[in-house]
C-alpha cells in the first residue's frame, strides 16, 4: 500500500522512547502449527523497531533477554540489537544473569561495573531511572533496602526534573492472579517512595507478558507486553499459565511539552490498511 500522507512539518517532537521486553531467546515453544523459535521473534521485533518513523531517541530493553541466561543466547541478542540505530539500554529480568550480561554486553558502559545493574540517564529531556529487581534464583523480583535507598537518593537529586522509572517486575498488583504471585517484593515500600516524589511521570514495568495500566501512588503505572509471546488473560486463581500467541508488542513513550503519552505498536505484518483516509463526519441535519 502506498502511503500518500503528508508529514506535519511543524510538529515539535521533544523525545520518543521505545520499549521492548521479555524476549526469552533460546526457548522454542511447540504449537499445533509447529515449533515457534523465539529467536525468530526477536529478529522480527528488531526489524519492526528499525521501521519506526521517526526513529526513537533511545530504546529500553527491560529484561528476560534470554530464557536460560546463557552466553550463546546473549550473543545472539547482542548481534540483533546491534542492528538498531538508537542507543539501547538494558535492565535485567528474572531469567537473566548479571555477570553474563556484563560480560557479553561489555560495550554497555552506562551501568556500574559491579553490583546491581541500575543507573540513571541524565542526558535526555525526560530523566530516566532504571532499576534492577532481579532476585537471583527466583521468578519474583525484589527491591531490598539497598536498592530502595538508591532510588530514593536518585529521586532526591533532581526533584524538579520530570522522571520516568523502568523496572522489570511490577511493584503493584495487576489483577492477573498468577503473575501477581511473582511481582516485585517490597512494592509497598517502593510505593511510599514514589508517592513522595511527584516528578515521577510513570513507572514502567514488564514481566507479565500482557499490557496493563493502573493509577498507583499518585502516578501512572504501566506494564508492557512481550515482544515474543503473551500469557492468557486469566483473572482467576490458577497454578500456572501457558504461552498465548496474541500479537507481540513494543511500546512508545512520547514526551512533548510536559505531557507523557504512551502507545502500543504491534509487531508483525498486518497488510490490511486502507488508503481512503478519514471519512467526512456525518451531517448534522
CA dist., res. 184 & res. 173, Å (int): 9
Cell numbers that stand for 237 in this block: 486463581
CA dist., res. 83 & res. 108, Å (int): 15
Cell numbers that stand for 90 in this block: 538494558
CA dist., res. 128 & res. 119, Å (int): 8
- Dmax over CA atoms of the chain, in Å, equals 70
Print pLDDT tens along the chain (285 aa).
344 444 444 444 589 999 999 999 999 999 988 999 999 999 999 999 999 999 999 999 999 999 999 999 999 999 999 999 999 999 999 999 999 999 999 999 999 999 999 999 999 999 999 999 999 999 999 999 999 999 999 999 999 999 999 999 999 999 998 889 999 999 999 999 999 999 999 999 999 999 999 999 999 999 999 999 998 888 888 887 878 889 999 999 999 999 999 999 999 887 766 666 777 788 877
Architecture (CATH level 2) of domain 16-266 = 4-Layer Sandwich (3.60)
Amino acid at each position: 500500500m502506498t502511503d500518500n500522507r503528508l508529514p506535519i512539518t511543524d510538529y515539535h517532537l521533544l523525545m520518543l522512547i521505545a520499549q521492548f521486553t521479555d524476549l526469552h531467546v533460546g526457548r522454542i515453544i511447540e504449537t499445533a502449527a509447529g515449533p515457534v523459535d523465539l529467536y525468530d521473534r526477536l529478529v522480527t521485533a528488531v526489524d519492526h523497531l528499525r521501521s519506526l518513523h521517526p526513529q526513537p531517541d533511545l530504546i529500553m530493553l527491560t529484561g528476560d533477554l534470554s530464557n536460560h541466561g546463557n552466553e550463546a543466547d546473549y550473543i545472539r541478542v547482542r548481534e540483533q540489537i546491534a542492528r538498531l540505530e538508537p542507543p539501547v539500554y538494558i535492565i535485567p529480568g528474572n531469567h537473566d544473569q548479571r555477570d553474563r550480561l556484563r560480560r557479553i554486553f561489555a560495550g554497555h558502559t552506562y551501568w556500574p561495573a559491579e553490583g546491581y545493574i541500575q543507573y540513571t540517564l541524565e542526558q535526555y529531556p525526560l530523566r530516566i531511572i532504571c532499576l534492577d529487581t532481579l532476585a537471583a534464583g527466583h521468578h519474583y523480583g525484589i527491591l531490598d533496602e539497598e536498592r530502595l535507598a538508591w532510588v530514593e537518593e536518585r529521586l532526591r537529586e533532581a526533584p524538579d526534573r520530570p522522571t520516568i522509572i523502568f523496572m522489570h517486575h511490577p511493584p503493584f498488583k495487576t489483577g492477573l492472579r498468577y503473575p501477581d504471585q511473582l511481582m516485585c517484593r517490597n512494592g509497598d515500600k517502593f510505593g511510599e517512595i514514589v508517592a513522595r516524589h511527584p516528578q515521577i511521570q510513570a513507572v514502567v514495568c514488564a514481566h507479565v507478558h500482557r499490557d496493563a495500566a493502573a493509577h498507583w501512588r499518585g502516578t501512572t503505572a504501566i506494564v508492557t507486553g512481550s515482544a515474543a509471546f503473551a500469557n492468557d488473560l486469566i483473572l482467576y486463581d490458577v497454578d500456572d499459565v501457558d504461552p498465548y500467541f496474541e500479537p507481540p508488542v513494543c511500546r512508545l513513550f512520547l514526551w512533548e511539552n510536559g505531557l507523557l503519552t504512551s502507545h502500543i505498536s504491534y509487531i508483525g505484518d498486518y497488510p490490511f490498511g486502507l488508503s481512503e483516509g478519514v471519512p467526512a463526519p456525518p451531517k448534522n441535519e
